[in-house]
Amino acid sequence: MPKTAPPAAESPAKIFRSEEELATLPASERIRYRLVKAQRRYHANDNIAAFVRDGELTELKAEVQAKLQEVLQALVTDTESDHNTNETAKRVAKMYVEEVFRGRYVPMPAVTEFPNVERLNELMIVGPITVRSACSHHMCPIFGKVWIGILPNEHSNLIGLSKYARIADWIMSRPQIQEEAVTMLANELQERVRPDGLAIVMEADHFCMHWRGVKDTDTSMVNSVMRGAFLKDANLRREFLSLLPRKQS
Ligand SMILES: [Zn+2]
């Protein structure tokens, strides 16, 4: 019996177009092609700056504006004669791309690391750092505070105090899930500072709880990540937590 060759699987390289071909597509499609080709995840809280070329953010903003205009239309809003919503699609597109979700599209802020010449090895607490984000589920605002505990060792790199806030802002300026946000922040700091112990506590108000759903105005959510010495040493953990001036404590 003659063997029939299985249909040749198309090589993945063929699916992806050249940059010239991509140039004819909307910016979001172009960026998506590059991400898929590189097998990179692009969830709402992933940073995709390495896949965005010069000028493409401007194109993205225009695309988002056009889609938001359709959302307003679907909500049966007369944006032509209603002066309040006339420019809303444009304003919101700018707010998403340039402000509240900016942490997806720009690279991490430059952070200078200093060797620990003084060989500091005492618990260091940074905070409260005010953070703003939006939940991935409802795109509703999240407002909160973050505290960071660091137990350095002689090989740790130290970073300037204001840099903790910059890195936190970069991670929070994306549609987020609080548990994932604190883990992302911990990973970033672990890699940069390489301390013996790292602890992060985030306490935040989720406006999807206040504005919709149960309309509960008092509930806030607290998450923590403990690594290294903070996991092993209950006294260190207690010391860190006792020093946080949290609102319900
Ligand atoms: Zn939500």
What pLDDT, in 10s, does the model give residues 26-49?
Answer: 999 999 999 999 999 999 999 999
pLDDT-derived band at 182 (thresholds 50, 70, 90) equals very high
3-state helix, strand, coil in the chain (%, to 5): 40, 20, 40
pLDDT-derived band at 213 (thresholds 50, 70, 90) equals confident
Ligand 1 centre from 142 Cα, in Å? 9
The percent of residues in the chain predicted with pLDDT above 90, rounded, is: 75
Q: Which residues contact 133 (CB under 8 A, 6 or more apart)?
A: 141, 142, 144, 172, 173, 174, 175, 176, 181, 204
Residue 223 pairs in a beta bridge with 202
Closest by CA to 197, choosing from 146, 149, 242, is 149
**Location of structure tokens 């900016």:** 102
Separation of alpha carbons 102 and 47, rounded Å: 9
Higher pLDDT, 223 or 218: 223
pLDDT in tens, 194-211: 999 999 999 999 999 888
Amino acid at 204: A
pLDDT in tens, 137-147: 999 999 999 99
Ligand 1 centre from 114 Cα, in Å? 38
pLDDT in tens, 107-131: 999 988 888 888 888 999 999 999 9
φ and ψ of 166, to 5 deg: -65, -45
Over residues 165-178, mean pLDDT: 97
Ligand 1 centre from 130 Cα, in Å? 19
Ligand 1 centre from 200 Cα, in Å? 22
Ligand 1 centre from 61 Cα, in Å? 24
Q: What is the pLDDT of residue 249?
A: 42
pLDDT-derived band at 2 (thresholds 50, 70, 90) equals low
**Location of structure tokens 């953070």:** 131
Higher pLDDT, 248 or 21: 21
Q: Which residues contact 88 (CB under 8 A, 6 or more apart)?
A: 68, 72, 79
Is 80 exceeded by the pLDDT of residue 8? no
Q: What is the pLDDT of residue 14?
A: 53
Separation of alpha carbons 88 and 79, rounded Å: 8
Helical (H) or strand (E) element with 206? strand 197-206
175-176/113-115 β-pairing: unpaired
Ligand 1 centre from 2 Cα, in Å? 59
Ligand 1 centre from 30 Cα, in Å? 29
- Residues composing the chain: 249
Separation of alpha carbons 177 and 159, rounded Å: 26
Helices (H), 128-222: 161-172, 178-193, 207-210
Ligand 1 centre from 83 Cα, in Å? 30
pLDDT in tens, 78-109: 999 999 999 999 999 999 999 999 999 999 99
Ligand 1 centre from 155 Cα, in Å? 40
φ and ψ of 237, to 5 deg: -60, -45
